[in-house]
Amino acid sequence: MDWTFDHFVIAFTGAFFAGIINALAGNGSVITLTVLTELLGLPGNIANGTNRVGVLMNAAGAMTGFRGKREIEYSRYWKYILPVIFGAIVGTIVATYVTHAQFMGVFRFLMIVMLIVILVKPERWLIAHAEKSILPGWVVWPMMLLLGFYGGFIQMGMGVFYLAVLVLVARLPMIESNTIKAITVGSFTLIAVIIFAWADQIIWTIGLVMGAAQFLGGWMAAHYASKIPGASKVAYIVLIIAVSLSVLKLFEVF
């Protein structure tokens, strides 16, 4: 395919807004995968691989923006990070061999469930300080491995699901959870990019343009969110909007 200036403008614009959404909530891949498949016409597996370049650079931008804004004892949270990375490696390898189309039907309903969870008792999302996790220790690794597998396989919605686990189950504050999410997603996406590149399923020109836009969007969102009083409320509102639009898109309302 011959890429025109219009293609790059569309890719950059969509990726920029996806970067903002990813940094504050998640599910920006709904935008980027739509751009790659519906507007740029890439096959699903190539779009899935190309999208990971932007996700990686978005995570880097978010980590840069959040860095130093809040002291976080990362050693306490390895149980929420390492198994996700391990699971994502397996999911990514599987994704290079099969299409993710068969999962879309299930994904639609998962997003509806997620929207309901977000809207019911919003105060659960707005805790100011870390609290005791409601998750038994023996459940942590299996749950995180499955979550990581999903993220490695399809990525779309991974940020929302991971954020929900960190906030609602691990009982971590929203901004702190977003920082951990950026580190985890960035780590396993670096490996995913290598795997997809090895499978020759990345178009680097579009991927790097979208990556630059997502880095910028992620950095801006993280940098300014960390300075805004009540940033958790802002992130919560963005999360509601992102998931609501995703549900409408997935059910082809628009």
Evaluate if residue 23 carries a pLDDT over 60.
Answer: yes
* HSE of 209, CA atoms in CB hemisphere, 13 A: 18
- The residue among 236, 33, 20 whose CA lies nearest residue 115 is 236
- Residue 62 is which amino acid? A
Ranges 17-21, 105-109, 212-216, 221-225, most confident: 212-216
Q: CA-CA distance, 108 to 3, in Å (whole number)?
A: 31
Is residue 11 very low, low, confident or very high in pLDDT (cuts 50, 70, 90)?
A: very high
Q: What angle do CA 97, 102, 105 make, to 5 degrees?
A: 150
Quote the tokens at residue 102. Answer: 């068969």
- pLDDT-based confidence at 16, cuts 50/70/90? very high
* pLDDT value, residue 235: 67
Q: By percentage, how much of the chain surpasses pLDDT 90? A: 20
Contact (Cβ atoms closer than 8 angstroms) between residue 241 and residue 45:
no
CA 49 to mean position of chain CA atoms: 14
- pLDDT at position 13 is 92
Helices (H), the chain: 5-24, 29-34, 44-66, 78-95, 104-119, 137-153, 158-164, 174-198, 204-225, 231-250
Mean pLDDT of 111-133: 68
Helix (H) or strand (E) holding 22: helix 5-24
Which pLDDT score, from 0 to 100, does residue 159 have? 79
**Whole-angstrom distance between the N-terminal and C-terminal Cα of the chain?**
27
DSSP 8-state class, residue 253: -
Burial of 138 (C-beta count, 10 Å sphere; 0-12/13-18/19+): exposed
pLDDT at 5 over 70: yes
Q: Where are the domains of the chain?
A: 5-250
What is the structure's pLDDT at 205? 94
pLDDT of residue 213: 95
Tell me what the mean pLDDT of segment 21-42 comes to: 80
Angstrom distance (rounded) from CA 192 to CA 186: 10
Averaged pLDDT, 95-104 = 68
pLDDT, one tens digit per residue, over 44-76 is 788 889 999 999 998 888 777 666 555 556 667
* Range among 140-154, 164-178, 198-212 with highest mean pLDDT value: 198-212
Q: Give the distance, in angstroms, between the CA of residue 11 and the centroid of all CA atoms in the same chain.
A: 18
pLDDT band of 162, cuts 50, 70, 90: confident
Nearest to 27 by CA among 149, 209, 147, 163: 163
- Phi, psi values for residue 46, rounded to 5°: -70, -40
For residues 110-120, give the mean pLDDT.
75
Three-state secondary structure call for residue 6: helix
What confidence category does residue 37 fall into, taking pLDDT thresholds of 50, 70 and 90?
Answer: confident
Q: pTM here? A: 0.75
